[in-house]
Amino acid sequence: MNADPLHSRIGSVAYLNAAPLTRGIEDRIRFMTPARLAERLRRDELDAALVSITEPLLTGRYDLLDGVGIVARGEVYSVFLAHRRPLEEAAEIFCDPASLTSVNLLKVLLAERGLRPKFRPLASYAEAGRHDFVLLIGDPAIAFQRAPHTHEIFDLGAAWFALTGLPFVFAGWSLRRGVAEGAAIRRILRDARAAGQAELAAIIRDRPEFDEAFRRQYFERHVYYTIGAEERRGVAEFCGRLARHGLGPVTPPNFTE
């Protein structure tokens, strides 16, 4: 095995919201969808991956890097249920097949209202506007919301905060246990986050997604990248509600320095 931690297998999503967590190590990252990242991690083909928070909670196989994640305290803007009819009328919801956490979070939020619709895969974002209920995530969700549409937006970050008063951790670095260079990988990932925070103005200026005014709004109002005590309480609350609504078995997260 190559002892250089920069040659370790690290995966991330290519969405705008992940850019501050991979600053300076982009050429070492394998970019893919959240669902694909989880699949590769389960096959031990990656040593670390920025995956949906439900992956470690529902498998119990990974440690979570403490202090670093993609978090929203209220409206997240890029994870939502677009709906034309009242939520109470939802019999089936079409969802992005790349989604993991958003599906489980939406199931919790709807179960709290006594609603348990069926979930169907969305064939493509091109057909999203044709459905009465569609769950969208990431950059395609942002594009949908900013374009003309006839749907109401049920923002999952805002709904979670209204329900619990806690932030929601949408994704974190899941770390495969027993990797020899694990400490070095954790240091690299922390350094990348530090670089992303220090160079956030440059990320806002230079990223190609959308326009600069929107990028500034998104990073300043909708997402942040620190997991502290309150964020860990949010994860624990999510664990409890997943279990309460039969969406487990759930394993409490193991945060590691």
Dihedral sign computed on CA atoms, order 172, 43, 27, 257: positive
pLDDT for residue 202: 97
Nearest to 71 by CA among 203, 160, 163: 160
Domain assignment present for 103: yes
119 and 175 both lie in a single domain: no
69 and 174 both lie in a single domain: yes
How many structural domains are present in the chain? 2
179 and 156 both lie in a single domain: no
Is residue 27 a contact partner of residue 65, using CB atoms and an 8 Å limit?
no
End residue of a domain, out of 138, 164, 190: 164
67 and 99 both lie in a single domain: no
pLDDT for residue 126: 87
How long a stretch of residues is the chain? Answer: 257
CATH number of the domain bearing residue 184: 3.40.190.10
pLDDT for residue 7: 58
The predicted-structure confidence for 149-192, as pLDDT tens digits, reads as follows 999 999 999 999 999 999 999 999 999 998 878 899 999 999 99
The predicted-structure confidence for 239-250, as pLDDT tens digits, reads as follows 999 999 999 899
100 and 157 both lie in a single domain: yes
Domain assignment present for 180: yes
What residues in the chain have per-residue pLDDT under 70? 1-8
pLDDT for residue 209: 94
174 and 68 both lie in a single domain: yes
Segments forming the whole domain that contains residue 38: 5-73+167-247
Domain assignment present for 240: yes
pLDDT for residue 1: 43
40 and 110 both lie in a single domain: no
